A and B are shown apart, each in its own frame.
Chain A
Amino acid sequence: MFGRSRSWVGGGHGKTSRNIHSLDHLKYLYHVLTKNTTVTEQNRNLLVETIRSITEILIWGDQNDSSVFDFFLEKNMFVFFLNILRQKSGRYVCVQLLQTLNILFENISHETSLYYLLSNNYVNSIIVHKFDFSDEEIMAYYISFLKTLSLKLNNHTVHFFYNEHTNDFALYTEAIKFFNHPESMVRIAVRTITLNVYKVSLDNQAMLHYIRDKTAVPYFSNLVWFIGSHVIELDDCVQTDEEHRNRGKLSDLVAEHLDHLHYLNDILIINCEFLNDVLTDHLLNRLFLPLYVYSLENQDKGGERPKISLPVSLYLLSQVFLIIHHAPLVNSLAEVILNGDLSEMYAKTEQDIQRSSAKPSIRCFIKPTETLERSLEMNKHKGKRRVQKRPNYKNVGEEEDEEKGPTEDAQEDAEKAKGTEGGSKGIKTSGESEEIEMVIMERSKLSELAASTSVQEQNTTDEEKSAAATCSESTQWSRPFLDMVYHALDSPDDDYHALFVLCLLYAMSHNKGMDPEKLERIQLPVPNAAEKTTYNHPLAERLIRIMNNAAQPDGKIRLATLELSCLLLKQQVLMSAGCIMKDVHLACLEGAREESVHLVRHFYKGEDIFLDMFEDEYRSMTMKPMNVEYLMMDASILLPPTGTPLTGIDFVKRLPCGDVEKTRRAIRVFFMLRSLSLQLRGEPETQLPLTREEDLIKTDDVLDLNNSDLIACTVITKDGGMVQRFLAVDIYQMSLVEPDVSRLGWGVVKFAGLLQDMQVTGVEDDSRALNITIHKPASSPHSKPFPILQATFIFSDHIRCIIAKQRLAKGRIQARRMKMQRIAALLDLPIQPTTEVLGFGLGSSTSTQHLPFRFYDQGRRGSSDPTVQRSVFASVDKVPGFAVAQCINQHSSPSLSSQSPPSASGSPSGSGSTSHCDSGGTSSSSTPSTAQSPADAPMSPELPKPHLPDQLVIVNETEADSKPSKNVARSAAVETASLSPSLVPARQPTISLLCEDTADTLSVESLTLVPPVDPHSLRSLTGMPPLSTPAAACTEPVGEEAACAEPVGTAED
């Protein structure tokens, strides 16, 4: 506003209703420009505002009123901008002009308008204008302007930028001068410009030849040097690291280097053959071979040539093959790595020199003799000479030549200011010279040859030294680089180098441009190779050794290394028709797998949360298979392997820390080797995952619930929703169902959740209600459990509530126990550990019930609870029938191992075939239904609160009743039938007792209930009547104690 007000006063016009976007306003602004052709301190702000307003009007006119731009053209207003620019009127005006140019070229949509702005070489004069590039903002606007122009580049506009007659292409040459600018966004813009230019050059031969002949060698050689210097800095960062302190900086260096590789690949995939040949040559002979590959073999030798450490060298080569897929480049590089030797390198150098004497390809990582800017300047000089020879050139051309004079002077001053050595080292004197072009070219050529000869001599000397030093070694190894690759896999202490070697082999074999025949020579087939007859035995043996080391208790193999080993081994030996692996190798692999089984067993006994970890690790591995490219983006793998999670390094990329991580690692090693073994033997996986999604009951399933135990309840969710449901408990799941309207006795599942992830607690002020929470299986043991069900269940009376609670609690324990047994079967565990696990299972159950989250420390505290421990062992010791239980387990254990391989069925039938208890449980779930029918009929009277102890007694009796039922279920059907009538009379006395208040009477009556049941249940268990009575007496008190414990816990909750 200030500017506008001022202009009104200065202009002497009083009109205030002027439309800001209109042709009339543009005319007015034109008037302002004509009156302020010279920039002064007084009118600077006015001019900036005027230019800004003109920009807005032009953009508006481009879309609304074509006469606006016509006026701009007629009055040649663009020239006013250029004149202002040339006056060096300071940063403020400069920034506005550059911004205006950005906006105009980016947004003008009419081609005619665009072509006008590009015509008369106006734009090129702006491009070569010497702005103050030390100003960050000017630099940013300038490079954005060039980028915008490059996005406008196409076959129709290219002639505005590339001048065939003067052989000049300022947009490109001025941009690449900033290729190594300290500011990353400037470098990014330069890359964009070059890529856009190369893209357009595919259809313009003259421009393409110009780029190749005048700019490719200096640009690419400087670029390669820039990248190589960065690599040396990266290696220095790795080698000077202590305690992972350099990790942040290293991460930045790695990311920057990957950007370089992606940029190179972006150039190569444009498929500009001429450029690709030059670039490939520079990459191979100036960077990859002399710096990366050379470092593989000459680690311990001094010498003058720059080198990088072995891990960094392997890492960088892996990245090349992961990112670049240009066939000529990757095949040449692979040829040297897989089959090359020192003498071959030496010989090839000579051959290259002979082949192309004009531009010898020196295989050496050396700094270019000239800066990019100077090289381009020299080429421009040649062009200038050519121009002057044309006598018919127009006067306009001569004027342009005159303008370039001051430009060159300014440039030289800038170079001196920078303190570069280019001037002193320049082959050609910087003073103006009248020498003819031929003489200049000859001198230039001779100097170039002299320089190359000098460098060649240095190279020869180095090669001779290297050859002499390795003379004895070469007799041992015919392929030193490949042998070094194998050697790195043999490190006994850790897998620091091995991981890089595996990544390199993986990257080479997965490279899209790679010739499969090259890989076949070392018997490393590409993925999905149709036919494999042989495989690389030395490599396979080393991979198996890695697996064996990984399965050791103190194994220093990281999970990422093991996973890569498995991938590479499968890639080598697996075909659709089967596995071509030798028996001796298969046997060694089986040995490693068995070691992994023993490793997991060690942790199986000790962890209460083992089951949760087991399933979590399986889920994690399944959901996140390895991605080598992502693995290699992580700079932390360049540092020596560490075990602490405090570095933030992902679990699979470091060694484990603490017992929890060691357990997780052991479980994963077991999974990987088991999977590998099954695949190589052509056997399907039939036991994992423990919970198969397809076997689970899901929402909207329709179930046949005839003869099932169902408990009606009202479910109140957190958001206040209230629904009527029936609760059904399966072996592994609980379901909430509603009746199916089309079929009597069937139910539609509205919710299904895993029992093992369930928590059940009573509600303090309501004996008919339960709070139930089911957590979603966590993706990691350390992540917070996420509830998928959190609701209050209200039953019709407290009896049903107690029954539901018991059923859910026991279901949870039983589900977890059965899964632990299946894990035991996987691990071929003997009987004794199984029994102990049952005990620990109880402990786990207790601790889990009391704790909201599965935290390791709390779990440990729970397991160390002396009360629980003592109780468990006391229970075991007191049961004389323990020997009988042992016999049963012995029978079931062989059954598990023998039946699991052929079994292909789902969880229910699978469970049935692996455990007798399962069928027993199923039977018991149906029998109580019949037994409870009479109980449901009578209405139970409400008891007053003072009689709470009586309720506890009733609980005991109820549980006592249910236990005999289960025992009866295990006996013959005849016995079941015969027992049914006796259960009915037992119920009646219980109900009648509720009416009486005498404690003594209850006690007496409860004792009298025991004798009728005992003989039958014990007879079914042992078949030895004489011993039955004492055993029953011992069993009963234990049950009562357990029953008493639960109510106390409930009260506490």
Chain B
Amino acid sequence: MEAIWLYQFRLIVIGDSTVGKSCLIRRFTEGRFAQVSDPTVGVDFFSRLVEIEPGKRIKLQIWDTAGQERFRSITRAYYRNSVGGLLLFDITNRRSFQNVHEWLEETKVHVQPYQIVFVLVGHKCDLDTQRQVTRHEAEKLAAAYGMKYIETSARDAINVEKAFTDLTRDIYELVKRGEITIQEGWEGVKSGFVPNVVHSSEEVVKSERRCLC
């Protein structure tokens, strides 16, 4: 099977610095880390293929903004060069949920006239006994902003894959309908290509390993 991807989507992950963004990314990129007791492992950049339908693959580029919030010039540009993102809050930290509104307003200001497709993520759902935000109110907030809502846990591998694939599918639908287009100078969406023989060989190897898992 050839390793072909239709598009490359650039995604960002935003939210308060304590909600575990890096951990979520790491869980998605590797699909493992089951036995690490404190899943704060993070990575700033990763790319990975996602199959949203049989035979249809999207290459995701995921960038994390951790550690950079204090520089305004940095965060602005991150938003503007992405097509979608996950907006994280910590279900055990009500303050992080209350700040979701601020994150969205901040993004909107810097991205106009374009828009970013977001999925609202209630993270750390493995700590349900310490929950401070109910699923219902989170769903209500997400609906008010036209977002989907999903609850994840990197520790227990709950819904991490689904959060990214749902977001990818939403973006893909918008691209197909022409509501999001490839533009010169904009890096949110790029068209795909067939890698050369060497790359293809490597991708096949990766793919096989995933199948075995």
Chain A 257-274 interface 0/1 with B at a Cβ cutoff of 8 Å (1 = within)? 011101101100000000
| Complex contacts, A651 vs chain B, CB 8 Å | none
Which of A140-148, A294-302, A878-886, A918-926 lies on the face that meets chain B? A140-148
* Inter-chain contact A56/B68, CB cutoff 8 Å: no
Closest B residue by C-beta to A135: B199
* Inter-chain contact B81/A1, CB cutoff 8 Å: no
CB of B202 to closest CB in A, whole Å:
5
* Inter-chain contact A63/B37, CB cutoff 8 Å: yes
Out of A1, A64, A106, which one reaches B37, CB within 8 Å? A64
Which of A159-167, A185-193, A552-560, A896-904 lies on the face that meets chain B? A185-193
* Inter-chain contact B41/A107, CB cutoff 8 Å: yes
Query: Within the assembled complex, what's the spacing in Å between the Cα atoms of A217 and B45?
Result: 31
* Inter-chain contact A63/B209, CB cutoff 8 Å: no
Does B74 count as interface, using CB distance less than 8 angstroms? yes
Chain B 24-54 interface 0/1 with A at a Cβ cutoff of 8 Å (1 = within)? 0010000011011110111111110000000
| Complex contacts, B113 vs chain A, CB 8 Å | 251, 634, 648
Does A249 count as interface, using CB distance less than 8 angstroms? yes
Out of A64, A102, A249, A262, which one reaches B76, CB within 8 Å? A262
* Inter-chain contact A188/B37, CB cutoff 8 Å: no
Chain A 47-85 interface 0/1 with B at a Cβ cutoff of 8 Å (1 = within)? 000000000100110011000000000000000000000
Does B144 count as interface, using CB distance less than 8 angstroms? no
Does B2 count as interface, using CB distance less than 8 angstroms? no
Query: Within the assembled complex, what's the spacing in Å between the Cα atoms of A102 and B47?
Result: 14
Does A183 count as interface, using CB distance less than 8 angstroms? yes
| Complex contacts, B212 vs chain A, CB 8 Å | 1-2
* Inter-chain contact B187/A106, CB cutoff 8 Å: no
User: Of residues 65 to 83 in B, which have CB atoms within 8 Å of A's CB atoms?
Assistant: 67-68, 71-74, 76-78, 80-81
CB of B109 to closest CB in A, whole Å:
7
Does A3 count as interface, using CB distance less than 8 angstroms? yes
Does B61 count as interface, using CB distance less than 8 angstroms? yes
CB of A784 to closest CB in B, whole Å:
16
* Inter-chain contact B36/A60, CB cutoff 8 Å: yes
CB of A143 to closest CB in B, whole Å:
8
Closest B residue by C-beta to A627: B109
Query: Within the assembled complex, what's the spacing in Å between the Cα atoms of A102 and B184?
Result: 30
* Inter-chain contact A192/B36, CB cutoff 8 Å: no
Closest B residue by C-beta to A1: B212
Query: Within the assembled complex, what's the spacing in Å between the Cα atoms of A630 and B113?
Result: 12
Out of A64, A137, A263, which one reaches B47, CB within 8 Å? A137
Does B186 count as interface, using CB distance less than 8 angstroms? yes
User: Of residues 914 to 971 in A, which have CB atoms within 8 Å of B's CB atoms?
Assistant: none
Q: A107-B40, A151-B67, A184-B77 are in contact. Are A144 and B112 (CB under 8 A)?
A: no
CB of A127 to closest CB in B, whole Å:
16
| Complex contacts, A45 vs chain B, CB 8 Å | 205
* Inter-chain contact B202/A92, CB cutoff 8 Å: yes
* Inter-chain contact B43/A56, CB cutoff 8 Å: no
Does A1044 count as interface, using CB distance less than 8 angstroms? no
Q: A2-B209, A251-B113 are in contact. Are A259 and B45 (CB under 8 A)?
A: no
* Inter-chain contact A106/B76, CB cutoff 8 Å: no
* Inter-chain contact A188/B74, CB cutoff 8 Å: yes
Does A255 count as interface, using CB distance less than 8 angstroms? yes
Does A1019 count as interface, using CB distance less than 8 angstroms? no
* Inter-chain contact A195/B44, CB cutoff 8 Å: no
User: Of residues 157 to 197 in B, which have CB atoms within 8 Å of A's CB atoms?
Assistant: 183-187
* Inter-chain contact B81/A185, CB cutoff 8 Å: yes
Does B63 count as interface, using CB distance less than 8 angstroms? yes
* Inter-chain contact B63/A262, CB cutoff 8 Å: no
Interface residue total, chain A, C-beta cutoff 8 A? 51
* Inter-chain contact B77/A259, CB cutoff 8 Å: yes
| Complex contacts, A107 vs chain B, CB 8 Å | 40-42
* Inter-chain contact B36/A59, CB cutoff 8 Å: yes
Query: Within the assembled complex, what's the spacing in Å between the Cα atoms of A151 and B43?
Result: 13
Does B137 count as interface, using CB distance less than 8 angstroms? no
* Inter-chain contact A255/B33, CB cutoff 8 Å: no
Query: Within the assembled complex, what's the spacing in Å between the Cα atoms of A45 and B209?
Result: 11
CB of B116 to closest CB in A, whole Å:
13
Measured as residues with beta carbon below 8 angstroms from the partner, the interface class of chain B is 35 or more
Does B22 count as interface, using CB distance less than 8 angstroms? yes
Closest B residue by C-beta to A629: B109
Out of B35, B46, B76, which one reaches A259, CB within 8 Å? B76
CB of A632 to closest CB in B, whole Å:
12
Does A24 count as interface, using CB distance less than 8 angstroms? no
Q: A60-B35, A151-B67, A630-B109 are in contact. Are A259 and B43 (CB under 8 A)?
A: no
* Inter-chain contact B73/A262, CB cutoff 8 Å: yes
CB of B67 to closest CB in A, whole Å:
5
* Inter-chain contact A106/B42, CB cutoff 8 Å: yes
* Inter-chain contact B109/A102, CB cutoff 8 Å: no
Query: Within the assembled complex, what's the spacing in Å between the Cα atoms of A633 and B113?
Result: 10
| Complex contacts, B72 vs chain A, CB 8 Å | 262, 265-266
Does B213 count as interface, using CB distance less than 8 angstroms? yes
* Inter-chain contact B61/A266, CB cutoff 8 Å: no
Query: Within the assembled complex, what's the spacing in Å between the Cα atoms of A183 and B198?
Result: 24
Does A21 count as interface, using CB distance less than 8 angstroms? yes
Does A99 count as interface, using CB distance less than 8 angstroms? yes
| Complex contacts, B202 vs chain A, CB 8 Å | 91-92
CB of A1 to closest CB in B, whole Å:
4
Chain A 87-108 interface 0/1 with B at a Cβ cutoff of 8 Å (1 = within)? 0001110000001001100110
Q: A248-B183, A648-B113 are in contact. Are A191 and B209 (CB under 8 A)?
A: no
Query: Within the assembled complex, what's the spacing in Å between the Cα atoms of A532 and B185?
Result: 49
Chain A 148-188 interface 0/1 with B at a Cβ cutoff of 8 Å (1 = within)? 10010000000000000000000000000000000111011
* Inter-chain contact B43/A106, CB cutoff 8 Å: yes
CB of B8 to closest CB in A, whole Å:
9
Does A529 count as interface, using CB distance less than 8 angstroms? no
Q: A1-B212, A147-B44 are in contact. Are A106 and B77 (CB under 8 A)?
A: no
| Complex contacts, A634 vs chain B, CB 8 Å | 112-113
Q: A2-B209, A102-B44, A252-B185 are in contact. Are A188 and B109 (CB under 8 A)?
A: no
CB of B61 to closest CB in A, whole Å:
7
CB of A298 to closest CB in B, whole Å:
30
| Complex contacts, B45 vs chain A, CB 8 Å | 102, 140-141, 144, 185
* Inter-chain contact A2/B208, CB cutoff 8 Å: yes
Query: Within the assembled complex, what's the spacing in Å between the Cα atoms of A192 and B113?
Result: 26
CB of A647 to closest CB in B, whole Å:
10
* Inter-chain contact B186/A252, CB cutoff 8 Å: yes
Does A20 count as interface, using CB distance less than 8 angstroms? yes
Closest A residue by C-beta to B67: A151
Find the residue from A1, A20, A260 having the highest chain B CB count within 10 A.
Answer: A1
CB of A936 to closest CB in B, whole Å:
46
| Complex contacts, B22 vs chain A, CB 8 Å | 106
* Inter-chain contact A266/B73, CB cutoff 8 Å: yes
Find the residue from A63, A185, A248, A263 having the highest chain B CB count within 10 A.
Answer: A185
CB of B201 to closest CB in A, whole Å:
9
Closest A residue by C-beta to B68: A192
* Inter-chain contact A191/B71, CB cutoff 8 Å: yes
Q: A263-B73, A634-B112 are in contact. Are A249 and B185 (CB under 8 A)?
A: yes
CB of A246 to closest CB in B, whole Å:
12
CB of A690 to closest CB in B, whole Å:
30
* Inter-chain contact B209/A3, CB cutoff 8 Å: yes
Query: Within the assembled complex, what's the spacing in Å between the Cα atoms of A258 and B76?
Result: 9
| Complex contacts, B80 vs chain A, CB 8 Å | 252, 255, 259
Query: Within the assembled complex, what's the spacing in Å between the Cα atoms of A64 and B39?
Result: 12
* Inter-chain contact B78/A188, CB cutoff 8 Å: yes
Q: A60-B36, A184-B77 are in contact. Are A1 and B109 (CB under 8 A)?
A: no
Query: Within the assembled complex, what's the spacing in Å between the Cα atoms of A388 and B110?
Result: 51
Chain A 217-253 interface 0/1 with B at a Cβ cutoff of 8 Å (1 = within)? 0000000000000000000000000000000110110
* Interface CB pairs A-B, < 8 A, 8: A63-B37, A91-B199, A106-B42, A144-B43, A144-B45, A185-B187, A256-B77, A266-B73
Known: A56-B36, A102-B44, A107-B42. 13 other contacts (CB 8 A): A21-B35, A91-B199, A92-B202, A102-B43, A148-B44, A151-B67, A185-B78, A188-B74, A255-B80, A259-B73, A263-B73, A266-B72, A634-B113
Nearest first, the 3 A-B pairs at minimum CB distance are: A262-B73, A1-B212, A263-B73
